[in-house]
Each structure stands twice: as structure tokens, then as C-alpha cells.
Amino acid sequence: MKLSALLVRQKIIIATVLTCIMIMLLATLSYINAADRVGRDHLAPEVTRSFADVFQLQYSQQPSNTEGLQALANTLVKHFQIQEIAIYNSDKQRIIYACSKNCSQRLPQNFFAELVSQDNHLVYPLSKHNGLQVIQLVILTDVALPEFFYLDTFSTTLLVVALSTLLLLFLYARIRYWQKQPFQNMLTTIEQLQARPNQRIRFDLKDADTRQLGKKLNQLIVISENREGVLKQEKEKAERSRLKALRLSNETRKVNEQLEQEITIRKSVENQLTHTQSFLDSIIDSMPSALFTLDQHGFIIQCNQQAAEWLAQDKRPLVGKKITHYIKQIQQFEHLLKQSLEQHITNKLERITLTLPNAFFPADIAIYPLEDLHLKGLVIRIDDITQREKMEEVMMQTEKMRSVGGLAAGMAHEINNPLGAILQSIQNVQRRLQADNDINQKIAREHKLDLTAMNGYLDQRDINKFIANIKDAGERAAVIVSNMLQFSRGSQQQLNEIKLKDLIERSLTIANADLNLQAVELEVNSVGNDETLYCIPSEIEQVILNILQNAAQALHTTNLEFKDANWQAKIQLTVSQDADNTFITIKDNGPGMSDETRRRILEPFYTTKDVGAGTGLGLPVSYFIITAHHNGQLEITTKADQGSCFTIRLPNRPMSNHNPNGMS
């Protein structure tokens, strides 16, 4: 048990018991020490002197009775303080010796003078009655206290300690009772106060230990009773106030209900106005056009999100700024702004190239006067027509291709008839010049003509070669006519699945036969063996070959002033494929194209080559094949002195809206 957990009275009784035990132990030790000193310094010498007197009496009466002396020694050695007794004759030889039970026989056989000086060795001379024949009596004493002395002493000490402890415990119990009783009376009084709070109960003041505490507690009870009376009065006042406040609360509640109805109506109107304003702002911000509302002096009153994005600003900082500070081109048309403001008419500007902080594009600008009687100002709408121009360009190219298609169809029909007659006549000429034909042999014999000799002549004069060239030229012309008809009517061939790697390799095999391409470094990325594509292989090969030939001619026939000493003509052919489309990119490091050439590059019969060097149909036909026959796209990007890049996008699978007979 920890000492800190004990009560004060318990600590006091423990300290008292321990103190009594220590006092008893110290007293016992002092008593033992005193007894030891008495036995050592007084009792032992007196006992040995008395024993010496007995021996002197016995020796003086019977000096020759040695047995009597021995018997006396054996009797006296039994004393608890005598350890050994020895008698030495005049010759210093031991004649009598007696030893106690625990003796260790320390006295020697012969007497010597040093025995006198040793502690506990008491020497007494014995003589006869006449004073002759002196002998020496040596007694070795044991000054240690006996065991029974210690046992009795400690037993007595323990008995005293036990009795003292019992007495202290009795005192502790009485003290505890004396301490507990007044507090128990106070606890009883407190319980009565708790059980009967309305009765007048006070603490007893008879006990001297708790009298002052009882007085203070009685004072607190009186104060508490007074406070309860005051609280009761205040409670009655509070109840009256509560009833009054309840009546006022009912009146206030009715007024608040009326106010809440009015507030609800106002909030509904405000929410509708806010919603309408937010809805209108969302509509205006969602428009792809830039809208500016200006006052009569040209300062911005309001703008939408598109306008802020083009000006690389937030909407709020733009308010209060002049629009000409951000759009310089507006300064050129200030007369139109003034005209719209004064005459209340609408002015429009078309295809104006705008240079804005965050955009550069062709645009249409419309200027409207505000239809507000309380505010005089303008609304300027700016539309980005980049996509429209691209669409117009596509429509223009489509119309041109349709016109070319009709022209090609007419030309093909007109050329096809005489071309068929030429090819048929060439076939007949070759067949009628054959020497192994029976009819030819018969007619030759009628005219005495040797067909073998004639054929030798024709071969020697290269007439057969000329005829074969005429036939080849006619067949090539027939192929051109067929392509023109296909171009005008649309492809009748079906899209077939082909490995993309085989398609590229066949196209490059044909391209490697071109002398211009042989002098150009051609870089081709690797294509996977498992990548496939649905297309008309011959047409895609034709498109790739046309673009490669145009790139090679641009690299060799153009004066490349921008190139340095380390420049080398290079064409990069890159093929990639994702889940839906295949992309074929052909890029050269030539001089590129101007904007005018870029816009007209897909026009039929438009060419930048010298007269006779090109027809201007290669790229238009390629564009037609990709868009109309394969439902794909052809994108052309170019910059001056940075080359040109043609990107062909083809669907990996036939699309449901594919129309082989016309443009998609």
C-alpha cells in the first residue's frame, strides 16, 4: 500500500508505532551494552577473586590434596563466566586443569610470565599456611553474555512492543471515533437538509471542533433561504413578463408573417430577374461571335465572354475602356460608327482581317444602333469567318470539280470513239502483217509477195516498233479516258481490305522509278504487319505517287534561295493509325507555297509549272479520290521557306454514308 493513499490519522499511528519500536530497540541495545560492561569490568573479576579465595582456603588446609583441588576446579568451571582453570606448581608445570563444555583449551602446559598480561587471564598466587611452596592459579574468564540473557531480554522487548501497539491501536480507534463523530453529525444534518429543504434545519454548534464550520454553514443556509425568497419574487415577475412577451410575440408574429409574404414576393421577383439576367448573359456568352455594347462616345458598356477571350482580358476590366484601344482596325471605320449612331441605321463590314491580342482571323463586322430610348449607343458584332471561308473554298472546289467532271465526261465521250477506231485499226494492221496467218499467205502469194521478207524489212526499218508505240499510246489514252469517266461519274469499284504495309511498299516501288524521286532522300517510318485499311489500292497508290512527284518537282525545279551549303532535298513519309483512322503524312523541306497558291492548289488545271510541264489535274483528282471515293480528308499546311505538308486521313473501315458515285 502506498503511503500517499493513507489518511492522516493512519499515517500518525504508523509513525507512532515505528517510533516506539525504535525506542524499544535502542533501549534494549543500551541495556545489553551496559550488562556486558558490568560483566566484563566488575562481575568477572569479582567472581574469579572469590574463586581464588576458595582455592586458597582449600590449598592452605590440604596442600597435598590434589584430587580435592581438581574436584573444586571441576565444580567451579561450570560457572557461565569461567571457561578454563589451571594450577601450576612451583616448577611452572600444570598440575590441575578444568575446562567448560565449550572450552578450546587455550591455557598451556607450562606457566610463563606473558599469561599475566593477556586479557581474560586472571592469575592468583596460592601458598600454604606457612607461606611456602607458592603455586599459580590461572582462571580464563568468558565475559560474553549468555544466550538466556539475550533471549529473555528480547522476549521482554517484544512483549513491551506488542502491549504498546495494542494500546496505540486502542487510542487510534478512540481518536478516530472522536474525529468522526462531529463530522458524522454534520453529514446527518446535510442529509436532512436535502430530504426536507423547506424546513428550518441548522447545524449543531455543541462540538468545539466543528463549531466555527457549523456557524459558517448556518450563515450560508440563511443566505440561500434569502436568495430563494428573492428568486421566487423574481420568478413571479419573470412569469408576468413572459406572459406580456408572449402577447407581444403573437402580435410580432403576425406582422412578421405579413413581412415574409412581401419578402417572398420580392425574392421571387428578384430571382426571376436574376435568372433572366443570368440566362441572357449565358446566351450572349455562349455565342461564338464577339459582342460589344458602346455608348455614344465609343466606350465599352458591356461585352460577352468571346470578346474578352479574343482580347485576352477579363470582362469587367474592359468596361469603361475605348474599343479602339484594343481593336485598332475600328479606327478606320469611325465614320460608319457615327453614321449608325446618328442615322439609326445598320452598317456591315465583310472580310476584314482583324489582329487581336489573342486571335488573328478574317471577320465580318456588323454595327447596330441600340433600340433603347434611355440610352444612346451602338452594338458591334464581330464574327470569325475562318470556317466559313474554308467551307466556301470547299464548295468552290466541289463546284469546280463538278464542272471539270462534266467537261471530262464530254471530252471522254468525244475522244473515246476515234480512239477506239485507232486501236481497232492498229490491231487489224498487226494481225494482217502476221506471216503465219493463212489468209495473209494466200493473198501474198497472189501478189507474189514474201511475207517473211516483208516482216524483216518492217523490223529493220522499225515499222513494227512504230506500230507497237502507236498501240501503247492508244492504250494509255484509253486509260486516261477511263480515268476521266471514272472521275466524272464516280468510282464503281468496291473498297477492299489491304495491309497498310503492302500498300505503302507498292507505292514506293512505283515512286522509285521516277528520276526526280531518285535524287531525293526519302524517309519512311516503319509500318506494322497487322495494320489493315479498306480502300481502292490503285487509287490510293495514285494519290501518294502524285503528291510525291509534286514534292520532288518542287524540290528540283524551284530556285531554293533559302537553302545553305548543308541543305539536302528530303521528303518524309509518315504512316500512323489509331482505332478509327489511318494518317499518311508527306512532308518536304522545300520552299513551301504562298497563300494564293495554297488557296488555288486544288483548282483543276491550276499549275505553277511551266507550260507543258503539268496539267494541273494531279492534286484535284487526288482530292476527289480521297473525299468522294473514300470519305476521307486531305489537309495541306505550308509556310514560306519551311516546306509543305500533305496529310491524308482515311477511315479504317467503310463508313455507312460512303457514296462511291459522288462527293460525301
Domain ranges for the chain: 3-149, 287-384, 386-489, 493-664
Contact (Cβ atoms closer than 8 angstroms) between residue 504 and residue 575:
yes
- With a cut of 60, say whether residue 203 has pLDDT above it: yes
- With a cut of 80, say whether residue 407 has pLDDT above it: no
CA distance 567 to 197: 114
Which residues, at least 6 apart from 402, have a Cβ–Cβ distance to it below 8 Å?
A: none
658 compared with 194, residue with greater pLDDT: 194
Contact (Cβ atoms closer than 8 angstroms) between residue 599 and residue 647:
no
**pLDDT recorded at residue 155:** 84
State the pLDDT confidence band at 616, using cuts at 50, 70 and 90.
low
State the pLDDT confidence band at 397, using cuts at 50, 70 and 90.
low
Taking only Cα atoms into account, the Rg of the chain, rounded to an integer number of angstroms, comes to 71
Instruction: Write out pLDDT tens, residues 448-477.
Output: 888 888 888 888 888 888 888 888 777 767
Same fold, 3-149 and 287-384: yes
Residue 135 phi, psi (nearest 5): -120, 165
- With a cut of 60, say whether residue 662 has pLDDT above it: no
- With a cut of 90, say whether residue 42 has pLDDT above it: no
Instruction: Write out pLDDT tens, residues 129-174.
Output: 665 567 888 887 776 666 677 787 788 888 888 888 888 788 777 7
What's the CATH number of domain 287-384, 3.40.50.620, 3.30.420.60, 3.30.450.20, 3.40.640.10? 3.30.450.20
The CATH class given to the 493-664 domain equals alpha beta
Tell the CATH topology of 3-149.
Beta-Lactamase (3.30.450)
HEC letters along 479-513: HHHHHHHHHHHCCCCCCEEEEHHHHHHHHHHHHCC
Report helix, strand or coil for 600. Answer: helix
Which residues, at least 6 apart from 359, have a Cβ–Cβ distance to it below 8 Å?
A: 310, 384
Residue 135's nearest CA partner among 184, 174, 94 is: 94
Per DSSP, the chain holds a count of helices (H) and strands (E) of 17, 16
Residue 639's nearest CA partner among 603, 588, 605, 602 is: 588
CA distance 516 to 493: 31
